[in-house]
Amino acid sequence: MALSGGNFGKALVEDYVKPFEAKTGVTVTQITQHMDAARIATMVQAYNVTADSVLTTVTN
């Protein structure tokens, strides 16, 4: 799971990741590197996706 850093990233871990891990027994690997649209598109096109969940923002 690609997460941002700082307080927001910590809140995501506390509110979503830890409860998910406790309920399912699945360990979530946290990725803190920046995942912009170009990086995600490249991973998909190369059939080499390294993140199952990415938090993004949409800008116009």
Do the domain assignments include residue 53? no
Mean pLDDT per 10-residue section of the chain, whose length is 60 residues: 79 91 93 81 92 73
Do the domain assignments include residue 38? yes
The tokens for 59 are: 């800008």
Do the domain assignments include residue 20? yes
Do the domain assignments include residue 57? no
Do the domain assignments include residue 60? no
Distance in angstroms (rounded) separating the CA atoms of residues 19 and 25: 10
Domain that holds residue 12: 6-45
Which pLDDT belongs to residue 24?
97
Do the domain assignments include residue 52? no
Number of compact structural domains in the chain: 1
Asked if 4 and 55 touch (Cβ cutoff 8 Å), the reply is yes
Which pLDDT belongs to residue 18?
94
Do the domain assignments include residue 31? yes
